[in-house]
Structure 1
Amino acid sequence: MPISCTGLLRLLHLFLLLSSTLAAEDPIISRFQQYLQINTAHPSPNYHQAVDFILSQAKSLSLQSQTIEFAPNKPLILLKWTGKNPTLPSILLNSHTDVVPVEPHKWSHPPFAAAIDSANGNIYARGSQDMKCVGLQYLEAVRNLKRFNFEPLRTIYISFVPDEEIGGHDGAEKFANSEVFDEMNVGIVLDEGLASPDESYRLFYAERCPMWLVIKAAGAPGHGAKLYDNTAMENLLKSIESVRRFRASQFDLVKAGLKAEGEVISVNMVFLKAGTPSPTGYVMNLQPSEAQAGFDIRIPPIADQASLERRIAEEWAPASRNMTFELGQFKQKMSVYDENGRPILTAHDGSNPWWALLEGAIDKSNRRFGRPEIFPASTDARYFRLKGVPAIGFSPMANTPILLHDHNEFLNKEEYLKGIEVYESIIKAFASFAAETEKDEATKDEL
């Protein structure tokens, strides 16, 4: 007897409902949801609940663990899986536990419910892409490797650090510059990458360093109706227009396909502060004597940072126009060069066996990857590269819109599960690598 359209719809609804129920009962997905449901958003991240959850997972995997506070109430979790040859430089799998704030009313699903859309399998939650997915995928990959009795040759460390979203100064920066890190003898670091809207994973060998700039203008106050030369507002507007032209020139290179986003200097104005406050708003017939604007600048390691700083001093904020500027306000100014004047990047050619191992492991998982990129923003990986340790940015999220820091951030559960398989392949390849690289030897000599 043929089934009616209504009957088919009912069967389809039943199938979707059953699929959703099964997904919710999948222990792998359930653990991911539990981690996402812990609210670690700034300004008051619940770090200690996240620590309890991670330590419970470490215990179930028989991993050694320690909790370190380089700053009060900002715990860092360090897990260890000792290798058969612990004298070889180790592997560090890094992730951060904190996430950015949310505007709940702008989400289609509660941002800390980790709800699964039964129609498409998307898991909606803050941190689903950035980057609680990666931290849990590390652990799930280790779980699977242990299930098949894999024994690593090299020691594997897994770190869950705080404060990445506010600069990482009390997290990865202090960790990378600690005796704890030196004693770990790290040979390679894996950290976060970005989702890819197409089927190819994205691999990052460097990143743009942040420079937060505040330009200030001063001038005599005057009546709102009079035209003056060199007023604070007029001088600031000239600077803003100069910055805008530079920004447009860099953006044009990206639009024309001549450079990737991570290869140009980005400049974005993030605040404008001026005016004389009044009980009802601002005084409208008084030109202010001070005005300032803030800019978020990101510089790739292939750029000339000294030239940019000259441009700021001579063109964007010249003293001749009563302008001053501050670089690195809010503790965000890093050089794109190391202490020897070399660009801070990780080799992504034949000179770096780790890169070849990563590409081979992804290939073995029947996944594709694009050409090496410079990360357009900043991650904790920069602190490890500053120490001379190679670091690669990678988050296995293909066919996924880039939604980090956006409303309705999500990761499809199938992509999440595929990512675990990929990390199994990568960890196995890295942990089985017996040869010592030139970098390994240099690191051991320094230690």
Structure 2
Amino acid sequence: MVNNFDPRFSHGCPASTMVSRNEELLPSTQKTILLSAASCPAMSLFSVSSAFSLLPFLLLSSVLASSFTQLEEDQIQRFQKYLQIRTAHPNPDYASAVAFLSSEAQSIGLQTLTLEFARGKSLLLLSWPGSDPSLSSILLNSHIDSVPAEPSKWLHPPFAAVRDAAGRIFARGAQDDKCLAVQYLEALRNLKAASFVPRRSIHVSLVPDEETGGADGAAKFATSQEFRALNVGFVLDEGQASPTDEFRVFYADRSPWSLIVKAVGEPGHGSRMYDNGAMENLMDCVEVVARFRESQFDQVKAGIKAVSEVISVNPVFVKAGTPSPTGFVMNMQPSEAEVGFDVRLPPTVDPDLLRKRIDEEWAPAIRNMTYQLIEKGPIKDIAGRPLATPANESNPWWSVFQQAVIASGGKLARPEILASTTDARFVRQMGIPALGFSPMANTPILLHEHNEFLKDTVFLRGIKVYEHVISALSSFPANSP
């Protein structure tokens, strides 16, 4: 919340004599300021003058502070409380987060179940049974954990959830993606208060471990008996902020690969020239990969494809040379060298063709190179289809979702492939349709960055959007999927 006391204008006076930024500034305000000056000798005539000059700003702040209902202020405060729980790696406090979320869910009237697929990594499952349990259910997913933050590089402490005068709530996880968990809960709270009765059961999964790959969270949950018992028909997971007035929606993730290429050759004196030296071969590999990367990037620059629709290949480490106490031995050619690449594949490409390219062009054995390819998850679902959810009229879930967003007053941008990865890929692997959606329009993309924030108005609007979306999806008639 906004701190009502501003030490810049205290002049050594007791806090009780100062004008709060949030108190109502009635016509008697000027008298109040003069009385404050009289009761505090340290408050000079200059201070009074300064206070008068601040009146327009104080009035504006008062208007902003009073523009929300008590219910909305409570919703914002619950969001701040969740943000203040330190769930950043390497030591996320899952226990405190689950305790907080479970308490809020119980206050709403939701069923709660805590699961643990890996020690110390709790997963919270919330449920609102529908009137027709024969229908497939709706699952809303959000991860509890967040990436680390460097406090010295933030305007405000990253776990304080400070809300400034502009309504920006600064905290690690504000966008990625603690906002979703609270928005889900507040939307369900409002629907409960309105006596809404869902036809389909609604479930909320609050999972650990997403930021480190999801292996001990959503991946194990998606293959568990508990998940199968939910009979999930459609999933909503995280998306990203949008700098425009349109909400972004994602129908697929790119699949991550890690490629490590190792080149070997004869070691020798730095003055000698060798064919097929380790460094020479490794440089050949890097040059070939760089040309491929450029061909992909050119399509993005030309506007032919979005960055998430091409194969990205980026070097992330090089390991070579003979170490010395002061660095490296400069007159010795190494016998081996390695380079690592982060590779991301959209579901529209043929992975076999890329494997062939790696084997024949990037790391050919004839050039004394070997490679290790780590594919972090499949590229196709259990039926052999690309890991992508149709975002068109052929998918009835898409139609209901799209109409609900429009009914809420929102606009959807053209559906996208997410450049990175989310937990949604684990349910897509099971053949279940899933969309990535975070209703954050007119908001800079700040996930994993310093000074991550979300405006209070954007947060509150997201609750209303989810009310429409959740009610529409859970009311999907019986003759639908």
Shorter-chain TM-score bucket reads over 0.9
Identity of aligned residues (%): 56
Match of 1:34 in 2: 81
1:74 aligns with 2:105: no
In structure 2, relative to structure 1, the CA distance for the partners of 1:96 and 1:280 (3 Å cut) is same
Distance 1:165 1:51 in 2: 17
Distance 2:51 2:215 in 1: 59
2:139/2:236 contact within 8 Å kept: yes
Match of 1:445 in 2: none
Distance 1:40 1:100 in 2: 8
In structure 2, relative to structure 1, the CA distance for the partners of 1:351 and 1:15 (3 Å cut) is same
Residues 215-267 of structure 1: CA distance to partner in whole angstroms, max 9, x if unpaired? 11111222223222222112111111111111111111111111112211111
Q: Which moved more, 1:7-16 or 1:75-84?
A: 7-16
2:125/2:205 contact within 8 Å kept: yes
| Letter paired with 1:368 | K
2:426 to 371, 383, 408: 383
Q: Which moved more, 1:292-301 or 1:225-234?
A: 225-234
1:208 aligns with 2:282: no
Residues 346-395 of structure 1: CA distance to partner in whole angstroms, max 9, x if unpaired? 11122211111111111111111111111111110011011011101100
Match of 2:40 in 1: none
Q: Which moved more, 1:108-117 or 1:88-97?
A: 108-117
Match of 1:15 in 2: 59
| Letter paired with 1:194 | Q
Match of 1:240 in 2: 286
1:165 aligns with 2:188: no
Match of 2:396 in 1: 353
| Letter paired with 1:366 | G
Residues 46-98 of structure 1: CA distance to partner in whole angstroms, max 9, x if unpaired? 11111111111111111110110111111110000111111110000001001
1:362 aligns with 2:405: yes
In structure 2, relative to structure 1, the CA distance for the partners of 1:287 and 1:145 (3 Å cut) is same
2:382/2:430 contact within 8 Å kept: no
Distance 1:165 1:9 in 2: 48
| Letter paired with 1:307 | L
SS of the residue 2:300 aligns to: helix
Q: Which runs of 5+ in 2 are unaligned?
A: 1-29, 31-47
Distance 2:259 2:180 in 1: 32
Residues 302-341 of structure 1: CA distance to partner in whole angstroms, max 9, x if unpaired? 111111111111111111111111111xxx5223222443
1:76/1:161 contact within 8 Å kept: yes
Match of 2:316 in 1: 270
Normalised by the length of structure 1, the TM-score is 0.93
Q: Which runs of 5+ in 1 are unaligned?
A: 441-447
Displacement over 3 Å in runs of 4+: 3-9, 15-25
Distance 1:203 1:52 in 2: 31
Match of 1:422 in 2: 465
Q: Which moved more, 1:342-351 or 1:314-323?
A: 342-351
In structure 2, relative to structure 1, the CA distance for the partners of 1:15 and 1:277 (3 Å cut) is farther
1:116 to 163, 177, 181: 163
RMSD value, Cα: 2.0
Match of 1:198 in 2: 244
Match of 2:34 in 1: none
Distance 1:199 1:351 in 2: 26
Match of 1:444 in 2: none
SS of the residue 1:215 aligns to: strand
Match of 2:378 in 1: 335
Normalised by the length of structure 2, the TM-score is 0.86
1:311 aligns with 2:354: no
SS of the residue 1:200 aligns to: coil
Count of matched residue positions in the alignment of Structure 1 and Structure 2: 433
2:114/2:124 contact within 8 Å kept: yes
Which entry has the higher C-alpha Rg, 1 or 2? 2
SS of the residue 1:369 aligns to: coil
In structure 2, relative to structure 1, the CA distance for the partners of 1:15 and 1:319 (3 Å cut) is farther
Q: More relative contact order in 1 or in 2 (CA 8 Å, sep 6+)?
A: 1
Structure 1 segment 52-131 matched on structure 2, within 5 A: 52-118=99-165, 120-131=166-177
1:24/1:30 contact within 8 Å kept: no
Match of 1:410 in 2: 453
